[in-house]
Amino acid sequence: MAEHFLSEPRVEVVAVVLTSFTPQDEVGWTPLGGRAWVREWTRPGSTRFFMPAPGAGPEEALTMPWVSRIARTQIVALTDRNLLPEEASQDLDELARTGVRSLVASPFSFQGEMFGSLSLVSLDSGDWPEQLLRDFRLLTGALVSRLTLERSRRALAEALEAGAEAQKAYQQFYGAVGHELRTPLAAILGYTEVILDEAQHASPGAAEGSDGPVTAAVLRDGPAILRAGEQLLGIVDSLLGAGRTMSDDDQRRDVVVADAVADVVHWHRTPAQTAGVDMIVVTDPGTTVWAHASGVRQVLTSLVGNAIAHHRPGGGTVHISTAPLLGESGQEMVRIIVRDDGPGLSEEQLAHVFEPFVRFAAPRTKGSGLGLSISRTIAERDGGAVRGESTPGVGSSFWVELPAHEPRGA
């Protein structure tokens, strides 16, 4: 790059400034107060140098306030320093002090973020060759693209690192929940069941005595306490289950969808029979997804469990099927669909159904309101998604989409 520009007789020095990056090879580069790196290439045999001496601070560098301000948004091609306006007096003084008569300068910037700059310096005045300016624009654009790509790569790496740290924090949180909440909750439920059992088996004489009002209150309020405790315990178990599923113990691999569906259907066979719900499965035995095996099963458990729980009075049917599709980036995906013929959801309810602790079920229907929210998080971790559609009075369809295979280059 420098050799190309120095082949032009007008160019005495090529200077590059980096403000957002540290050079991979620092040889030849001069740091300025930890805020920038500067390097210059001079014409062979030239004794002109414009960089500060090694160890100098940024105050020793040319500031060029007027040119710098203009160069933040466009290429500056100055043909003669004497053509600078009055407000550029400091720029004129600095150029005169260093013997520079003309220059070409451009920023490395993208969407308002500055990465540095590129400058060509001349000891002579006059118009700059048009071909040189075209080459300058082309090279500047290429360097900005490369720096933007590197900035995006670093931002992605930082985001992945932050995500890993967040996952560790979640796991610690889930462990604290299990230790601090589950044990006392189990004790509350256990004692409530004992007290309720004793009240139910109290003799008629005891009920008529001084403890009669207490016994009656226990019989009246005990079931409500049990239901509330079971609801809270369900929330705790949902969080703990999500923590185990999202741990590092389970790695992404090819997961046979038919096997995962078979396991989930087996787990739900008893509650389905109790509710009078038939489960119909249509899956391709050769279909696989690239995901965490435990995560696939947890998401399907949530979707199938919801479909069974929200059945019509007297029973219903739950259909489980798969369909191939292409993602937005052309990635082959697999959609696993769970469809029911229950009461369905309104458009407004469907808009909020993935929010944590949101439930649209009868008060006696068990659930934490976290299943769909956690399922979406698990699917997104594997590059997928969980979505749904519903028609009141007809039923609902919820599905999970996951990559069909390991992405290329992964």
Same domain for 255 and 397?
yes
Same domain for 311 and 397?
yes
Tell me the residue range of the domain where 9 lies: 2-128
Same domain for 162 and 213?
yes
Same domain for 336 and 368?
yes
Digit-coded pLDDT (tens) for 338-387: 999 988 888 888 888 888 767 666 555 565 567 788 888 888 888 899 99
Same domain for 196 and 121?
no
The pLDDT confidence band at residue 57, using thresholds 50, 70 and 90, is low
Digit-coded pLDDT (tens) for 291-331: 988 889 889 988 998 899 888 778 899 999 999 998 777 78
Same domain for 176 and 48?
no
Same domain for 261 and 350?
yes
Q: Which of 212, 233, 249 is the last residue of a domain?
A: 249
More confident residue, 173 or 17: 17
Whether residue 222 is contained in a domain is answered as: yes
Specify the CATH number for the domain of residue 293: 3.30.565.10
Give me the pLDDT at residue 32, please.
Answer: 74
The pLDDT confidence band at residue 401, using thresholds 50, 70 and 90, is very high
Same domain for 184 and 119?
no
The rounded distance, in Å, linking the Cα atoms of 292 and 242 is: 12
Whether residue 149 is contained in a domain is answered as: no
The model's pTM is 0.50
- The whole-chain average pLDDT of the chain stands at 81
SS3 track for the chain: CHHHHHCCCCCCEEEEEECCCCCCCCCCCEEECCCEEEEEEECCCCCCCCCCCCCCCHHHCCCCHHHHHHHCCCCEEECCHHHCCHHHHHHHHHHHHHCCCEEEEEEEEECCEEEEEEEEEECCCCCCCHHHHHHHHHHHHHHHHHHHHHHHHHHHHHHHHHHHHHHHHHHHHHHHHHHHHHHHHHHHHHHHHHHHHHHHCCCHHHHHCCCHHHHHHHHHHHHHHHHHHHHHHHHHHHHHHHHHHCCCCCCEEEEEHHHHHHHHHHHCHHHHHHHCEEEEEECCCCCEEEEEHHHHHHHHHHHHHHHHHCCECCEEEEEEEEEEEECCCCCEEEEEEEEECCCCCCHHHHHHCCCCCCCCCCCCCCCCCCHHHHHHHHHHHCCCEEEEEEECCCEEEEEEEEECCCCCCC
Is residue 268 exposed (0-12), middle (13-18) or buried (19+ Cβ within 10 Å)? buried
Same domain for 26 and 56?
yes
324 secondary structure, DSSP code: E
Specify the CATH number for the domain of residue 32: 3.30.450.40
The pLDDT confidence band at residue 115, using thresholds 50, 70 and 90, is confident
Same domain for 244 and 255?
no
Give me the pLDDT at residue 346, please.
Answer: 87
Same domain for 261 and 400?
yes
Same domain for 359 and 260?
yes
Digit-coded pLDDT (tens) for 239-291: 666 665 555 556 788 999 999 999 999 989 988 998 899 999 999 898 999 99
Domain count, the chain: 3
Residue 408 has pLDDT above 80, yes or no: no
Residue 206 has pLDDT above 60, yes or no: no
